[in-house]
Structure 1
Amino acid sequence: GAAHYDVRLTVGEHAELNWLPEQLVTAYGSELRMRTHVELAATGRLTLREEQILGRHGEESGTLFTRLTVLRAGRPLLDQELAYGPGAPAGWDGGAVLGGHRAVGQLLLAGPEFEEKPAVPRLLGESAVLTPLAGPAVLITAVAPDALRLRRVLDEALDTSAYR
């Protein structure tokens, strides 16, 4: 059967949370359903990183289903479902999704400062993109051939002060 990994986070008024867990590796033969649910107050700030490594070095990926739901002041800010591996719908490893890469990750940056100065969508190098969300937040999505390069891309995006 499948394993489940559920995380619930709450960020109160004028609070800040930096949720930067370690990389998640989906080993061959595994099936994981991962859910992250965040309740963010209107004046709260959130930095959330997710990194998925699809298979250990030299082996195929397991199956991974993820859902990230972020509510800001009770309203949806982001609700995203992703699926990778042999149990996922066809095309997950094709050019339109991962393009053959084995590591995928994202950074969500949310806070009141994005209301005052919304971010502009843009590419970040060759393997990442910054997308402003409908609310006061940006989502940075990246792919890479391996875990180390994915971490470098996301760390570089996080260290760039232009987003905050």
Structure 2
Amino acid sequence: MAVRDWEIYDIFTLAEKTEASVSEEIPRTKGTLFLSTKQVAQRSGLDGFRTSGAMKALFPRTEEVQAILINTSGGLTGGDQLDIEACAGTNSALSLTTQAAERAYRAQSGVARVTTNLRVQSGAELNWLPQELILFQGAALQRSLAIRLEEDARVLMIEPVVFGRTAMGETITELSFRDRVSITRAGRPVYRDGLDMTGDATAQLARRAVAQGAKAMASLVYIAPDAEAHLPVLRQMLNDTSGVSLKSADLLVGRLLASDSFELRKMLLPILDRLSSDRLPTSWRL
């Protein structure tokens, strides 16, 4: 039996609609995590904890509360959303790290978003120590980190970023990356940082005023009464393309640049060991 033209048209129209519908319904990673600590008999203990979706956490047996954050999806791509919230309660200590490097892969459509909000109450200490974020060709990521401290709280923050894997010969000629960091103490801003990089990241990083060809970088912030005492020692640990400064008697900030993730990590490990009083999470050494 002959097939009429309008029947052929309907068949193709139905196929196009089905393809579009499938595309719109592609599962995306969603994950949330909330964690808080409190002082328990001169030690720190969990006060609250809940997760959903792709966000999970492991808790090694340590003197303080140490949480290893895990994105079970294995990476980030367009449309993904992770939300992290944590609070170090009064006179408690909390360290947050990741199981391994986070990866931002090519986005077919949309943008991946990661939002982190941290609070550090009076007399508390918080270490924000994620391992490297690795950006792959075609990644599209918007990330924000906000830390709110009380007047006498302490914080150690590191944010390492790697632009492609040098050992694999990767170059990043297509990228959309927006990063924001904000730290306030008693409601006053003490540190703000931002990075917007779109297009050919390799070419931009090659510029002398940007990174002089470095493919890995990290932002470092340490707020504690002994910050000034660490300054001369930390300067001896840095390479020629990194720097650290004292913004006030208890506020130390640094920017580290390295040729690749291996060189960055070699520089970071002794620095973080020192600033964390040799309490750097074990996952950093695996």
TM-score band (shorter)? 0.7 to 0.9
| Cα distance in 2 for residues equivalent to 1:53 and 1:77 | 26
Distance 1:85 1:153, change over 3 A: farther
Cα shift readout 1:123-156 (whole Å, capped 9, x = no counterpart): 7332321122257311121111111111111222
Aligned-pair CA distance for 1:87: 6.8
- Which residue does 2:214 correspond to in 1? 101
- Which residue does 2:169 correspond to in 1? 58
Query: In terms of mean alpha carbon deviation, does 20-29 or 55-64 score higher?
Result: 55-64
How is 1:8-157 mapped onto 2 (pairs within 5 angstroms)? 8-56=117-165, 57-61=168-172, 62-86=175-199, 91-114=204-227, 119=231, 124-134=238-248, 136-157=250-271
Higher helix share goes to which structure?
2
- The answer on whether the counterparts of 1:21 and 1:50 sit within 8 Å (CA) in structure 2 is yes
Aligned residues: 160
Q: Which protein has the larger Cα radius of gyration, Structure 1 or Structure 2? A: 2
Query: In terms of mean alpha carbon deviation, does 137-146 or 60-69 score higher?
Result: 60-69
Distance 1:28 1:91, change over 3 A: closer
Q: Which amino acid aligns with 2:116?
A: V
Query: In terms of mean alpha carbon deviation, does 18-27 or 57-66 score higher?
Result: 57-66
| Cα distance in 2 for residues equivalent to 1:156 and 1:118 | 12
Query: In terms of mean alpha carbon deviation, does 23-32 or 122-131 score higher?
Result: 122-131
Cα shift readout 1:21-41 (whole Å, capped 9, x = no counterpart): 121011100111111000011
Q: Secondary structure at the match of 2:137?
A: coil
Q: Which amino acid aligns with 1:95?
A: R
* Identity fraction in percent: 29
Aligned-pair CA distance for 1:53: 0.6
| Cα distance in 2 for residues equivalent to 1:110 and 1:144 | 24
Normalising by structure 1, we get a TM-score of: 0.84
Query: In terms of mean alpha carbon deviation, does 11-20 or 132-141 score higher?
Result: 132-141
Structure 2 unpaired stretches of 5+ = 1-109, 276-286
Q: Which amino acid aligns with 1:103?
A: A
Cα shift readout 1:95-144 (whole Å, capped 9, x = no counterpart): 11111111011221012344x86957957332321122257311121111
Normalising by structure 2, we get a TM-score of: 0.50
Distance 1:87 1:60, change over 3 A: closer
| Cα distance in 1 for residues equivalent to 2:134 and 2:114 | 13
Aligned-pair CA distance for 1:93: 3.7
- The answer on whether the counterparts of 1:26 and 1:63 sit within 8 Å (CA) in structure 2 is no
Q: Secondary structure at the match of 2:240?
A: coil
Q: Secondary structure at the match of 1:141?
A: strand
Q: Secondary structure at the match of 1:106?
A: strand
Q: Which amino acid aligns with 2:219?
A: Q
Structure with bigger RCO (C-alpha 8 Å, 6+ apart): 1
Structure 1 unpaired stretches of 5+ = none
Distance 1:12 1:87, change over 3 A: farther
- The answer on whether the counterparts of 2:205 and 2:215 sit within 8 Å (CA) in structure 1 is no
- The answer on whether the counterparts of 1:70 and 1:79 sit within 8 Å (CA) in structure 2 is yes
| Cα distance in 2 for residues equivalent to 1:84 and 1:119 | 30
Q: Secondary structure at the match of 2:199?
A: coil
- The answer on whether the counterparts of 2:205 and 2:214 sit within 8 Å (CA) in structure 1 is no
